[in-house]
Amino acid sequence: MKQHIKIRWHFALVLLLGLVSGLIAYPQVVSFFPSFYDALNVFQVHKGLDLQGGIHLEYKADTSNIADEKVEDALSAAEAVIERRVNAFGVGEPLVQLSRSGSERRIIVELPGIKDIEQAKKMIKETPFLDFRESGNEEQGQQFDDLNKQTKENAEKILLAAQLAGSDFSALAKEQSQDPGSKENGGDLGFAKRGAYVQAFDDVVFGDALKVGEVSPNLVESQFGWHIIKKLEERGEGDDREVRAAHILFAKYSLDQFPELKFSPTGLSGKHLKDAYVDYQSQGIGSPQIALRFDDEGTRLFAEITKRNIGKPVAIFLDKEIISQPTVQNEIVAGQAVITGNFTMAEANDLVKRLNEGALPVPITLVGQQSVDASLGEVALQKSLLAGLVGLGAVAVFMMLYYRLLGIVAVFALLLYTAMLLALFKLSIFTPFAITVTLSGIAGFILSIGIAVDANVLIFERTREELSYGKGVIKSIREGFRRAWPSIRDGHVSTLITTVILMGFGTGFVKGFAVILSLGVLLSLFTAVVLVRITTTFLAGEWMERHAALLVSPKKPLE
């Protein structure tokens, strides 16, 4: 009895798995429930370049002038340069990867959704700009002082308006406040205890001078700017005292908030940097530090910069973003410098990589380009899916005619397998290993359906053989699975080995084919060995012992 209950629970789990997978794979079946449909429709298949359309570019990397031990690091730096530029360009789901073509090293770039191939090439070949800047931009500082003076004068005018009887403080806050967190609420900050705000704000809000319903008579200045404060409510006493206040913020700015404006160009840039590498203090015992080496012109410029900036920071910018601000300790005339700091090994390696990016360590040459039309990809996708459906239908008819009830089980398992695989395609976009579906990947998907059917055929043939010996149905099914398992295992493992080799040495569409085929093989193994077995065990009861011919066509008349 317990065994029957266990089998039923297992079959119920199979049905639940099929239902969830089917809804994720094809949410249109619940389109009459808009909220449920919208929740399921969040999951989308990540389409590759050939399905979405875009640009495929292939570059040859010239590593002839790079030492053998530094080739891999240089290629990784070049790959990071291109990937960072592509991401900054706003390309959705770009692909940047290294590959080999004979003895050549290449970088493949796929940009889905991009139409202008010339713009894409310009974006990728543009040299990342590394430059060194010195502090002392007094002109910019004066501009901020003038701006803050005007802001304070405006705040004083608004303060007078806020203090007028009958004035709408909430409307003024929505119109004038520069605090995005409270502006839409009319400046309302809600209830808070002492210590929740900066000291100057706290002193006014929790002081006895400002009564409930009053507006502060003077501007309250903090590091954020100038505040006009209104006390709305208060409750509690002592340590439990809370005040609800509203404010209008007029932000003030300083040069420290905009470090890119705080420094001036020096003329020293990435073109003067020979290389950067990780070094250690105290012969490898201390913290990692960054060593820089300049060419002759860079050596001269760096000597001049360090001479006039002793005790001051010199900022290193990469594509207009600060990556380091070392302080100059003394004049450096040897063309070498060290950036010290509390770097971890990972941080030091990352900074070196970025510095070498600015130096453009690997020249690249465009050797191939292709523009893919999304409409062509869509047509090809429809034809591929149609081919898959026709193939699946033909297999289903054959299985049901030849294997009878077991054939129906096989068709159910194939439908479940297809739904689960499509669900995995959609769910993978929320993992670090998103699956990109391409036409070659769809070919791998369709091929994996054949592999799944092959596993069922092996099991059912073994079952037919056991039935032909006059064994009972349940025992024949068990023996069928047991005897077919070695062949199924070996066939799937050999296919997986092939896909691993293709993923390791293939590129582009070949790798996409291998990834999806390997996923399909693993899932088909689970479907055949686990789901089909649970389903057949659930269906095969005592009644089937008397009608074994309904289960599967026998090899010879049953005795």
Contact (Cβ atoms closer than 8 angstroms) between residue 502 and residue 511: yes
Closest by alpha carbon to 453, among 390, 397, 395? 395
β 104-112/242-251 pair status: unpaired
Q: Residue 335 is encoded by which pair of tokens?
A: 């063309």
Contact (Cβ atoms closer than 8 angstroms) between residue 46 and residue 429: yes
CA atoms of 228 and 183, how far apart (whole Å): 13
DSSP type of residue 531: I
Q: Residue 389 is encoded by which pair of tokens?
A: 């459906």
Which residue has tokens 């899916």? Answer: 385
Domains in the chain, start-ordered, CATH in brackets? 2-46+373-551 (1.20.1640.10), 54-127+363-369 (3.30.70.3400), 139-257 (3.10.50.40), 259-358 (3.30.1360.200)
CA atoms within 13 A on the CB side of 141: 8
E-strand stretches of 113-238: 130-135, 188-193, 220-222, 225-235
β 314-318/130-135 pair status: antiparallel
Which residue has tokens 């990342």? Answer: 128
Phi and psi at residue 314, to the nearest 5°: -120, 120
Residue numbers in the chain where pLDDT is lower than 70: 1-4, 46, 48-51, 84-85, 87-93, 113, 123, 125-129, 136-141, 165-166, 255-257, 259-260, 281-286, 319, 341, 354-361, 372-381, 384, 428-436, 506-509, 541-559
- Coil, helix or strand at residue 519: helix
Q: Residue 386 is encoded by which pair of tokens?
A: 């149609």
Q: What is the pLDDT of residues 146-205, one digit of tens each?
A: 888 998 999 888 888 888 766 789 988 998 998 988 888 899 999 998 888 889 999 998
CA atoms of 175 and 444, how far apart (whole Å): 59
Q: Residue 264 is encoded by which pair of tokens?
A: 């001036």
CA atoms of 189 and 476, how far apart (whole Å): 74
- Contacts with 91 (C-beta within 8 Å, 6 or more apart), sequence order: 111, 112, 113, 114
DSSP type of residue 503: H
CA atoms within 13 A on the CB side of 268: 27
